Structure 1
Amino acid sequence: MKVIFSRTLLPSMIITILSLLLTGWLIVQAESNWIMVIAVLIVQFMIISILFIQFYNRYTRPIGKATKTVDRLIEGNYSARFYNGNSPEMEELSVKVNTLARNMSEIAIQEQMQSEQLTTIVDNMQSGLVLIDEKGYVHVVNRKFLEMFGEEESNYRGHLYYDVFENENVHETVQKTFLYEETVKKSFVHREGLNKIYVEVVGAPIFNERNMLKGAVLVLYDITELKKLEKMRKDFVANVSHELRTPITSIRGFAETLLDNNITDPATKEFMEIIYKESHRLQLLIEDLLALSRLEREDFRLLIDNYDVRQMVEEILPQLHQKAENKNLTFDLEVPDQLTMRADKDRMKQVLINLIDNSIHYTPSGGDICLAISEETDVIHFQVKDSGIGMDEKSQTRVFERFYRVDKARSRNTGGTGLGLAIVKHIVEVHKGKIDVESTLNQGTTIHIYIPK
């Protein structure tokens, strides 16, 4: 009932009721005058028709126009507008529809600007970028990626990644990113005819607000120039080391010869001892630099063979025991019998010698050193533990860097080159192994090495 007597319908209802009352009264007065009755009905019909036409023009037609305007907005035509002032209600509706259209137009313009900005940033990146959804379909490839790998954007977008990416390293990166749900990094060489491009690909998973995997993004860096600079550095170090090896050996030999001739002048003897000692230190440094250069060469190959681990350890024990005894250190060995592994025997000897020698240098007199080797599920676990000076957390993150020294004064006194642990790390990595360090300042250090069987 409220609807009937609302402000919108009340005038029409009053006119309709008065018209019906008038019609009834005229019919009663006319009695059997059919002409009068028909005339009254015609007038009644005309009045009702006028009311319907007025209602249609004021409400039904404007609502139809408003509906068409909304349809155009849904289609994306945000310039569509609706104007009508036939009634306060329609005027209010037109104002709200037009306000909605303006707001949607502003939002669309902002989204377009943001989209253009994002597209500009993505396409002008100096790295290739690929966006893949959780089903494996490619959604975005930028301009740099197309320059690196060729083809058109349409050949990638909307296709499964394993159908359009030819490089197996990219496949593996995507698969590991989805499988482990963590950032994956890999390097590979991409060839275009005679040209060779070094590429580093980083895959990162994408999660939604509920921490569910929604896809992955790949960033591909062209590291060709970095590789060229790295090669120049390696070649320079190798060449200089080779050139210095002969004169340093000669200087050491001459100094040793002069020292054997019973020099009587104390000052001369002291200077010759310094020359001999420093030339020996330079010789060790050169040998370590050459060892690193060999390990870093692309054509470096390990001499893999099966051998008994305990026998390999016993071959290096005499020199290590002698160094430990000279410093009054306790050296313990925990190696099981009949333990075999498949690796480069000479390189693994170098790993153990460098690690134990490092522990001897950094462990005060009266301390303990222990070499423990054990067999685990898929790896051989090497553990070198000492009760030396230890390291803080900052040093632990840098201990495998070249020329980094935890205690610079102690390293100079012991004649260390600062390359021993860097060589260890390279040898472990070329064996596809893993190296970790545990250390507490002033309490000692434990280095763990895991080599696949």
Structure 2
Amino acid sequence: MSNLFQKPLFTYVVMLFFIVLGTGVLLIPFTDNYLALAIVLTIEYIIFLNMISYFSRILIKPVEKAIDTMEEIQKGNYGVRLQNGPTMVGTLNTKINGLASHLNQLATKKNLRLEQLNTLVNNTESSLILIDERGFIQLINTKFINMFGGKAENYLSQLYYDVLENEACIKAVQKAFVSENSIKESFTHYIGIKKLYYEISGIPIFNDQNNLKGAVLVIRDITDLKKLESMRKDFVANVSHELRTPITSMKGFAETLLDGGMSNEETTREFLRIIYNESHRMQLLIEDLLTLSRLENENFRLVLNTINVKDITQDIIPTFMYHAEAKKLTLHVDIEENVVFKADKERVKQIFINLIDNAINYTPENGHIYLKVEKQEEYVHINVSDTGIGIDKEKIPRIFERFYRVDKARSRNTGGTGLGLAIIKHIVEVHEGEIEIESEVNKGTSMHVYLPL
């Protein structure tokens, strides 16, 4: 019965005492036996105290536990449970347990969805910022932090114009709010000396009543796209230039012949020779462009066969020996016996042709060219070296670019298209091989190609 002296039961115990005492005062005029009256009132008081204690255990205590449990649930602790029973309080406990279980399931689903949303938002390739209708930032993803620096807590719950340093971002938000339409713009951003290109989209958010509730900023890195666009423009410009030059030459000489130049047989033959050479140059250029196009096609497949290097070189070496001798060059050939590997024979032959042809074109008279093929662990090593004009170290990273020429005048005079090394690089890459270059100006160049066995 110790619980009777605790709140709130103690208040009822005191009230009951005064009620019994008042009853005794009222009954005194009707009896002379005060001792008997005191005993009866005391027994009555004790009986009522036991009744209060009993009902406290049966009703009040479980209700208090139920209230405490509801407070825990209200705080978000959905794992608490009450003891079930056959009474009405037990039924109440069962209902509360069911509610807690249901809320626990809803909270689990909510947390799972939030986790999935956070994973999606933080792993997207674009930066995301969510701004409410008052201008406060409510969400920001990891990509934005990587792009612009800082920490998430520096942005969240802050006014966008106070924390966003990039003027393009601020203007995009303002335009989205003012126009209530989606906007898309691009801007440049510098990280140190590195120049990056970003595309920003401002998208207003509306509720079911079509009231503006905020805006989302999506920022995408388009630096690679800009580079590709620049490469495309350069490629088109280079192709146009490479085709325009021979066409202009052919047209000029043809017009001269048509205007009466055919009266001189020697002049006619010279002009026709020039027209033939220029048309042959155009044919080579178109063939190289088609080769590059096929190699870069995602559906391109190598025709793999087991090939012997000797079978390839014996077809092309005699021709290059003749060209080398015509330029007063010496071609040295050192090919290891039984170098057999799996590759596309025609593509590998093209590697040999382009490498040796470049060496002959860029090596002056009385120079030397060396072709060496050998096995090295898991690779076939193809090495073509020369004692030619060499390449400046600053220009080496660019030699595999389309139409790039170390010596433009020499390349055009020899009929080069400027695509040979680009083709070699693509062939090596589709074979999952490697290509390396060593060069020194006025001393020569050494090209190394490694193809897997």
Q: TM-score, normalised by structure 1?
A: 0.50
Return the index of the structure with the highest Cα Rg: 2
